[in-house]
């Protein structure tokens, strides 16, 4: 078996494999799929596993930016890993995933994420569960009234805000607005110090914004992308950088309440809408899990944002069998909102009593999960973090702690 780049001539076989794996696409879906993936082929973003001329599996690497404490990192989104049914269980999936990790590195991605249909395959290649995509169902009528009765004061009587005051009236957006949309998304994720969400490149945005079933509205510091679905509203994205824009966009969606009973939305679990709603008790949510793998540990830490109030330094020892450049003892430092890892000067393995605290030891999956805010107490009790000390754990949690989320499934 050989893993090599997929070419245009292979696309029919890749699509056939994809259908056998996930179910068939409609004719229009297949057209959009070809439009989406064709420009990726010359970029080396579609890998195929072949036995002779026969395609036995494939995997794609989508180009994304992913925000970590407000700073964008180059992220390879591994998607559509498929193996022909008759070729499963022989190591093809693992070979493809290993090749995808190496290709992420070659493409300059410093982290990689994926939504696993099964965990062991990806865990064995260094990915670990890192965050979730939360889909919530909200009553449309409750959203409608978030805009307030024609510009009156806020619901808490403070008069601080409410109505659409302060927010530009949302305007319709189309493919020509891709660049502005990308800028708005980056601005909001930076300002809110978001961890986990991603943004497509302009090329992909133009394609999505051309879909006539989706409605997109842009506000100065936010946007919404939604469609009708079985008589309800499905919000793909709603991102708002201020209360006024959150109210304007959610109430625009809720204005469908005379027809739609419910609004389903993929949101940050700390999305402001959940604090704007007048009533909230049981959340009606489902969560899809995603996994993260650090591809280039020093670059990922250097590119990530950190809380400005945290200043720490500790030694971590990382093992990464598949990407040895990540392995070894590193001095991890965080100060002034930025971090770095540099090779530790003193050799690893010192124990208590040597005057040098024992280094915190992490698998590549462990350090990837830590990077995404999974608490050290969880990593320690699941065998992904050993050594170190309670003080070092506290420092690591203070630096990396976050509730990583995405609002995109890929």
Residue closer to ligand COA (CB basis): 118 or 158: 118
Q: Of the candidates 117, 191, 325, 409, which one interacts with ligand COA according to CB under 6 A?
A: 117
Span 58-77, contacts to ligand COA by CB under 6 A: none
Q: Under the criterion CB under 6 A, does residue 88 sit at the interface with ligand COA?
A: yes
CB of 184 to ligand COA, least distance (A): 30
Select from 134, 132, 113, 122 the least CA-distant residue to 93: 122
String marking each residue 121-140 x if it binds ligand COA according to CB under 6 A: x-------------------
User: What are the E-state strand segments in 84-188?
Assistant: 111-114, 128-139, 171-172
Q: Of the candidates 26, 118, 158, 281, which one interacts with ligand COA according to CB under 6 A?
A: 118
CB of 291 to ligand COA, least distance (A): 9
String marking each residue 279-308 x if it binds ligand COA according to CB under 6 A: ------------------------------
Q: Under the criterion CB under 6 A, does residue 34 sit at the interface with ligand COA?
A: no
Q: Of the candidates 30, 116, 327, 397, which one interacts with ligand COA according to CB under 6 A?
A: 116
Q: Of the candidates 58, 83, 225, 362, which one interacts with ligand COA according to CB under 6 A?
A: 83
How many residues contact ligand COA, by CB under 6 A? 16
What DSSP letter does each residue of 249-282 carry, written as one string?
A: HHHHHHGGGGT-SEEEEEE-TT-THHHHSS--SS
Q: Under the criterion CB under 6 A, does residue 21 sit at the interface with ligand COA?
A: yes
Helix/strand number for the chain, H first, E second:
13, 18
Q: How many CB atoms are located within 10 Å of the residue 270 CB?
A: 12
Q: How many CB atoms are located within 10 Å of the residue 71 CB?
A: 20
- Find out whether 273 and 143 touch, Cβ atoms under 8 Å: yes
- Find out whether 135 and 264 touch, Cβ atoms under 8 Å: yes
Closest residue to ligand COA, Cβ-based? Answer: 93
Select from 284, 261, 310 the least CA-distant residue to 144: 261
- Find out whether 134 and 269 touch, Cβ atoms under 8 Å: yes
Q: Which stretch binds ligand COA (CB under 6 A): 80-88, 188-196, 267-275, 334-342?
A: 80-88
Residue closer to ligand COA (CB basis): 82 or 161: 82
User: What are the E-state strand segments in 31-70?
Assistant: 46-51, 54-68
Q: Under the criterion CB under 6 A, does residue 335 sit at the interface with ligand COA?
A: no
Q: Is the dihedral of CA 133, 134, 140, 144 positive or negative?
A: negative
Residues that bind ligand COA (CB under 6 A): 21, 81-83, 88-94, 116-118, 120-121
């Amino acid at each position: 078996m050989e893993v090599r780049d997929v070419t245009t001539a292979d696309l029919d076989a890749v699509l056939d494999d994809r259908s056998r794996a996930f179910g068939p696409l409609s004719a229009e879906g297949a057209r959009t799929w070809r439009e989406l993936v064709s420009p990726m082929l010359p970029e080396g973003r579609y890998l195929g596993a072949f036995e002779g001329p026969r395609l036995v599996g494939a995997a794609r690497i989508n180009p994304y930016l992913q925000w970590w404490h407000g700073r964008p990192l180059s992220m390879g989104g591994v998607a559509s890993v498929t193996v022909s049914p008759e070729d499963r269980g022989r190591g093809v999936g693992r070979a493809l995933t290993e090749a995808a990790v190496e290709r992420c590195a070659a493409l300059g991605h410093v982290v990689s994420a994926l939504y696993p249909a099964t965990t062991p395959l990806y865990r064995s290649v260094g990915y670990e569960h890192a965050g979730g995509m939360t889909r919530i169902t909200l009553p449309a009528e409750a959203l409608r009234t978030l805009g307030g009765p024609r510009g009156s004061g806020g619901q808490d009587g403070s008069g601080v805000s409410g109505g659409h005051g302060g927010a530009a009236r949302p305007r319709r957006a189309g493919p020509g607005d891709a660049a502005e949309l990308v800028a708005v998304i980056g601005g909001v994720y930076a300002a809110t110090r978001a961890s986990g969400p991603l943004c497509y490149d302009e090329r992909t945005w133009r394609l999505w914004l051309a879909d006539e079933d989706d409605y997109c509205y842009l506000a100065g510091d936010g946007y919404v992308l939604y469609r009708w679905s079985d008589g309800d509203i499905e919000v793909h994205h709603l991102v708002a950088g201020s209360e006024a824009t959150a109210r304007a966009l959610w109430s625009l969606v809720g204005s469908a309440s005379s027809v739609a009973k419910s609004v389903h939305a993929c949101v940050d679990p700390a999305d402001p809408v959940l604090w704007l709603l007048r009533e909230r008790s049981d959340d009606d949510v489902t969560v899809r899990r995603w996994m993260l793998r650090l591809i280039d540990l020093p670059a990922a830490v250097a590119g990530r944002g950190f809380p400005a109030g945290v200043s720490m330094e500790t030694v971590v020892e990382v093992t990464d069998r598949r990407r040895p450049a990540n392995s070894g003892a590193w001095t991890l430092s965080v100060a002034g909102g930025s971090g770095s890892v540099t090779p530790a000067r003193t050799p690893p393995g010192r124990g208590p009593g040597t005057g040098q605290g024992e280094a915190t030891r992490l698998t590549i999956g462990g350090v990837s999960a830590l990077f995404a805010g999974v608490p050290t107490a969880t990593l320690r009790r699941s065998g992904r973090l050993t050594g170190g000390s309670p003080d070092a754990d506290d420092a690591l949690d203070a630096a990396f702690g976050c509730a990583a989320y995405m609002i995109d499934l890929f």
